[in-house]
Each structure stands twice: as C-alpha cells, then as structure tokens.
Amino acid sequence: MGELSDYIAGLEAPERDLIEHIRARAMSLVPEAAEGVSYGMPALRYRDSPLVSVMSAKGHIGLYPFSPAVVTAVAGELDGYSWSKGTIRFTPEHPLPDSLVDRVILLRRDEIDAAKKR
C-alpha cells in the first residue's frame, strides 16, 4: 500500500468509502499516478508533481488539487459547496458529483503536463 491507501484504511465509513472512490477514479483517469506525500498530505503524484489529495477533516472532506487555477476553473460548478483557492469541501451527505471530480483531476493532469513541456 502507499501513503494515501494507508490513510484511507484508517478511516471510518462513510468518509473512507467516499475518499477511496475518489482515489480510484483518479487512478483510472491517470493510471501513471503514484501514491506519495505532497505538502505533508497523503496524495497522488503525477510526473513528480502533486496531482490530488483527499482528506477528512472535522465537519467535511477536502479535495485538494494543489492548484488555485483548477479550483477557479470549476468554481461555476461549486454552488452549494464551500471552497477556497486551494480546496473544495464536501460532506458524505452532499458529495461531489463524479463528473466534477473527474474534471478537477483531468484539469490538474493537463496543467502538470503543460508545465513539464516548458
């Protein structure tokens, strides 16, 4: 197992199930991603850059795409969710739609690819 899988294994349902679902979606969309640590958080990394982290906090779950530009790009889809430039917050009672999660992951992947081409 890796850092993110180990983190998820230590959680209780329903947070564990939601976070594992997002981890699995990210791995299916970006199969080259690997588990690691970014900014002190268990995360998926892609091409030596942080791709995404998902962590449980008191009162919410945070999706961290490590990119204010990615959060800004999906801001119009975040009605009903709490968010800031670095995180999108949701709860098991009000999870993020898969289409939004996929968009965040793919936008971040594309951002990393573009930066590596420079």
What angle do helix axes 15-29 and 98-117 make, rounded to 10 degrees?
A: 40
Q: Are the CB atoms for 49 and 112 separated by under 8 Å?
A: yes
Q: Which pLDDT band, with edges at 50, 70 and 90, does 62 fall under? A: very high
Domains of the chain by residue range: 3-117
Quote the pLDDT of residue 74: 98
Q: What is the CATH number of domain 3-117?
A: 3.90.1150.200
pLDDT tens digits for range 68-112: 999 999 999 999 999 999 999 999 999 999 999 999 999 999 999
Percent of the chain with pLDDT over 70: 99
* Helix (H) or strand (E) segment spanning residue 52: strand 49-57
pTM score of the predicted model? 0.95
Quote the pLDDT of residue 2: 86
The average confidence (pLDDT) of the chain is 96
CA-angle at 20, arms to 84 and 28, nearest 5°? 95
Length of the chain: 118
